[in-house]
Structure 1
Amino acid sequence: MRSIVSTLFVLGLLWDSVRAEHSISSLQAAAVAWEGELPCRKWDCECAFSRLRGCCCGAMELFEVEDEIFMRMMDLSKRLFQLGESILEVIGGIRIAFTASLSHKTNCFGPFTRSRPIPYDVVTLNHGSGYNPALGIFTAPRSGLYSFSFSVYSKVGVAGERMYYKVRLMRDGEAMASTWEDNREDSEDSGSQSVLLSLQQGGQVYVELLNGRQLCGNAEGLNSFSGSLIYPTLP
């Protein structure tokens, strides 16, 4: 920029010397006759005074500017790619989800003297390995907002027998949702719940059957438990 200003200043002086003849040719002639050093620096002075039709006068500086812009664009492209990779890792590259159901090997689950998690042992999906089928407990691999749902089914043996169950979704030992039935009118019944829960890494969620209650006549897939990560959050 200083080179341009210096050159314009010199041209201004030349213009003063040929003010009477307002023409490029007169200015060019005066420039050729100029005695002393011209402040051209990186500019091609010979070009400036003999080949004015082209842009060769500032070719070197223009090339340098072009190279600098190119390098900055390459750096920006690299940063955008890295940002995209980070976003993909956060919202798309993390897969945490599970689906499990209670097998029909045992006709009745319960009753027990204390409340206990239901071990949904038929696992059809377990991305992130957060669900433990032996315990029936999901442990969050990372902090985030999760979606959970569970369904409950039970069938009594004979008409008039009491249907008596209560199932709760627990987060770190605290009840978040529940469904229950207590009557002698239904021979079979079902219920379901869905919730959104915030979990810290290592937080645990499970479905428990309350003490003294039971689930009977289970058909495959009707007693189920599932969950998935909606989006991660900072610990």
Structure 2
Amino acid sequence: MNSALFSVCLFIVLHLSRHSASISPDLQAAAGSWKGSLPCGGWSCECTYKQPSCCCAADAVDQLEEQTFFRLMSIWSSMVDLQKLVDKNTAGRGVAFTATMSQMSGCFGPFTCDVPIPYANTSLNHGNAYNSALGIFTAPRAGVFSFSLTVYSNKGSESQRLYQRVALVRQGRSEAATWEDNREDAEDSATQTVLFTLAAGEQVYSQLMSGREICGDIWGRNIFSGFLLYPIEGI
């Protein structure tokens, strides 16, 4: 055993002696006969083994224990602060919805005014930001949101007129739309996908324009969906 390793062992023995009044005679003899250098200088074996608090390493060990304790407390405090920051930045991130119109063999519309479309069948509504009774999405926090709108209509025969116009509305203003006006197709569909920057509380919904209609959707192909892409602070 080299002197450095033996010194460390003796240091450990002295530290253990602070918590135990009983040290084996062999260890006492080894400590007493040691002539080399020690981690903390010399000691009095008589003092060390009869009064463990007199150990020459006691003060250093106490300081080390105290430093370690406060360091751990500092790390714990930093972890708590980090968790709070993570919670703040991820709060409301679980926002996503997908909803479809109820199956219908007839038509929705026409009406004499613009009418919000009630996408009543909700297959996904994380964050509960979408109101299926009204067909309205309300932003739970500020951020950039992605919305997708698919409009499908089936008149059953080419002699019937496909006549639809559905707008994606943000805070009462039409921002995007899909439309059809012809007698050449028995059925047709179109999709719009847009990004909106919304403040908390702003609303988005789709709206059937006055005089237009959506017909023959027995498969739930009229779909309104959206999700939070990323949050934004300060708006």
TM-score by length of 2: 0.71
Bigger Rg over Cα: 1
Corresponding residue for 1:195?
A: 194
The CA deviation string for residues 14-41 of structure 1, in whole angstroms up to 9 with x for no partner, is xxxxxxxxxxxxxxxxxxxxxxxxxxxx
Q: 1:185 & 1:69 partners in 2: Cα distance?
A: 80
**Percent identity, aligned pairs only?**
46
Shift in Å, 1:91? 2.5
Contact residue 156 and residue 187 of structure 2 kept, 8 A: no
Corresponding residue for 1:226?
A: 225
Letter in 2 for 1:56: C
Are 2:63 and 1:79 aligned?
no
Q: 1:231 & 1:163 partners in 2: Cα distance?
A: 38
Q: 2:99 & 2:155 partners in 1: Cα distance?
A: 23
Shift in Å, 1:101? 0.3
Corresponding residue for 1:41?
A: none
Contact residue 171 and residue 205 of structure 1 kept, 8 A: yes
Q: 1:204 & 1:161 partners in 2: Cα distance?
A: 35
Corresponding residue for 2:37?
A: 53
Query: Secondary structure of the residue that 1:80 maps to in structure 2?
Result: helix
Contact residue 98 and residue 226 of structure 1 kept, 8 A: yes
Letter in 2 for 1:180: W
Shift in Å, 1:137? 0.8
Corresponding residue for 2:206?
A: 207
Corresponding residue for 1:152?
A: 151
Query: Secondary structure of the residue that 1:230 maps to in structure 2?
Result: strand
Contact residue 104 and residue 218 of structure 2 kept, 8 A: no
Q: Cα 1:150–1:182, aligned 2, differ >3 Å: closer, same or farther?
A: same
Corresponding residue for 2:161?
A: 162
Corresponding residue for 2:100?
A: 101
Contact residue 151 and residue 223 of structure 1 kept, 8 A: yes
Shift in Å, 1:204? 0.3
Letter in 2 for 1:53: S
Alignment map for 1:56-135 (pairs within 5 Å): 56-57=40-41, 59=57, 60-61=59-60, 63-91=62-90, 94-105=93-104, 107-135=106-134
Contact residue 146 and residue 196 of structure 1 kept, 8 A: yes
Q: 2:69 & 2:189 partners in 1: Cα distance?
A: 65
Q: 1:52 & 1:71 partners in 2: Cα distance?
A: 34
Are 2:142 and 1:143 aligned?
yes
Q: 1:207 & 1:138 partners in 2: Cα distance?
A: 10
Letter in 2 for 1:120: Y
Q: 1:75 & 1:225 partners in 2: Cα distance?
A: 49
Q: 2:203 & 2:91 partners in 1: Cα distance?
A: 23
Q: 1:199 & 1:211 partners in 2: Cα distance?
A: 27
Q: 2:135 & 2:230 partners in 1: Cα distance?
A: 23
Letter in 2 for 1:55: P
Corresponding residue for 1:173?
A: 172
Unaligned runs of 5+ in 1: 1-50
Shift in Å, 1:90? 2.6
Range with greater deviation from structure 2 (169-178 or 54-63): 54-63
Query: Secondary structure of the residue that 1:202 maps to in structure 2?
Result: coil
Shift in Å, 1:88? 4.3
Contact residue 162 and residue 183 of structure 1 kept, 8 A: yes
Contact residue 104 and residue 215 of structure 2 kept, 8 A: no
Q: 2:88 & 2:193 partners in 1: Cα distance?
A: 27
After superposition, the CA RMSD in angstroms is: 2.4
